[in-house]
Every structure is written in C-alpha cells, then in structure tokens.
Amino acid sequence: MEFHFLGTGSGVPAIERNVSAMAIRFLQQKGTQWLFDCGEATQHQLLHSPITLTKIDRIFITHLHGDHIFGLPGLMGSRSFQGALSPLVIYGPKGLAEFIEASLAVSKTHLRYPYEVIELEEGFMFETEHLSVEALALNHVTPSFAFKLTEKDKPGTLDIKKLEAYNIPKGPHYQSLKEGKTITLEDGRTINGHEFVGPKKNGRVVVIAGDTRPTKEMIKFSREADILIHEATFRSDKADHAVQFGHSTTLEAASLAKEAKVKTLLLTHISSRYTGEEEAFLNEAKTIFENTHLAHDLMVYTLSS
C-alpha cells in the first residue's frame, strides 16, 4: 500500500499545504487506486504524483465541508475527459449526491462513465475481493466519518525446503498447496497443503479519520491498527479552538493512538498558522506517541507487506 498525501492543510489552501485529499495505491491489486476527500485543486496535485485519475474507481468523502469536496466535480469531469469509461463509486454523508448532481448539471458536465453515490449511515460496511471497509460516525460540527480498511488474512508462506525434502517436484501444484488444498502426485502420493504452509498472515488495518473532536468510539475502531491517519488541526495551546470548531489537537490525536495501541500515527489537516513550526508541532505529538509522522503535500508513505 502506498499513501499519497495530496493535500494536508485545513480550511483554505496555503502555499505549502493544499486542502484535504489523500490517495491509496494498492500495488498488489493491479494498481487499484482509491481517493479519500477531494478538496479544491486535488486534480492539480495529482499531476505531481504517480496516481492516475482514470484508475481511481472509489472515492470516499469524510464530510461535506468545502475544503474536502470542492475539487470533486472538476475531478469527475476530468476523469471523463481523459477517456475513463469504468464505473466510479463515491461514498459520503447525506447530501453528497445533491451536491454532485447540482454541480454537474449547472456546469453542463457530461460524464462518459456511470457513477454511483452511496450516502453513509453508522455501521456501513462493504467488502471487495481483498479487504473490507467500514465507517464510523465522528463528532464534528457536521456529519463526519472515519473509514477502516481491513485486509483479508493471507495464507502463510509455503515451506519450499520441506517440499524438496519430501521430493515433491516443483510445478503449478505449489500454488494449490499454498492455498491449503490436497493434491495427488503422479506417483500416487496424496499431499495435504496444510502440512507445508506456515501460519497465516493477519491482514493489515488502516484507519482514516475525517474532522472530529476526540471520541471514545475511535479507540475501539482504531484498536491495533497498522496505520491511523488522523487530523491535528491545532496544537494543544488552541484546545478551546479545537472544541469550538470540532477538531482535534496534536496531543489528542497522539493520545488516541497510544490508547488504541496503533503501530503508526500520521497527522494531517494542519492549520496554516503553524507554517514554519512543523518540528515543534511534531515533537508535541511525540511526547505522547513516539511513532508519529507529520504528513506534508506530495509525501508518500509505504506500508510494506
């Protein structure tokens, strides 16, 4: 998995941080690409990344504030102009479909591909061949959601040396054995794949949260996640601002990561007031949770298998 941070600022665009957008590229799934939020100029940020607009087939909108959605109609139009014919599915809070329909209608934008808008409710979940996605309602000044991506468990490693010790010849049946199947060799021996495969590998878990005040529900939702991507709009000295406007501080995001026992915390949605203060901003979070990283525009974070 590659996480491409296209916009890591909050509220309005700034010179060093555009507004919210982040893409995931699934390298082992035929290059599947998903987009999370789509602030103004997201498609321009894509031009500086290896993400291909026509390959994005799912878009997740955490909430309907302008810094998370104003780039969506233009991006949808450009996807069509670039020749995409494959379907696009867009997930987000109630009202998202109305926003898209009005924007496309008023601008007379015709799409060559079909699209579907799925408006979220608490407990929403779906599965693909490789992973499941579930949504959690957050505590913002407007309906906002977090998304949890959970990979399906993978088979353990095939013990090649053990196979060779049993004089089991190489061939396509190795894949069947890795899948735990029982095969019959030409010499008549019956081989059970489970005897040659190591313990299964647990699927990785990634949680991506929209704008929110701290919530207890996020602790359970993020429990032992490999990566938690969370907003930190303010430092702790602006805690009152965070409460008023429905956001989290660096220390609150770090405390969540610590309590939920996640492996890595990536902070984003940073107020432009902290331009030039990134080191102090990050160090504040690290006083609570050491394995914290501060995202910046066009940063790529890779989660290895």
Q: For the stretch 240-258, what's the b/e string if a residue is b when 16 or more beta carbons lie within 10 angstroms of its beta carbon?
A: eebeebbbbbbbbbbbbbb
Among left, alpha and beta (phi > 0; psi -120 to 50; other), residue 30 is left
Q: Which of 41, 21, 18 is nearest to 33 (CA)?
A: 21
**Residue matched to tokens 């309590």:** 259
Binding residues for Zn(2+), as ranges, are 63, 65, 67-68, 140, 211, 269
Name residue 137's beta-bridge partners: 145
229 touches 207 (CB < 8 A) = yes
- Amino acid identity at 153: D
Q: Which of 37, 57, 67, 226 is catalytic?
A: 67
Clarify whether 67 is annotated catalytic.
yes
Distance between CA 216 and CA 117 in Å, rounded? 29
Query: Which residues are known catalytic residues?
Result: 67
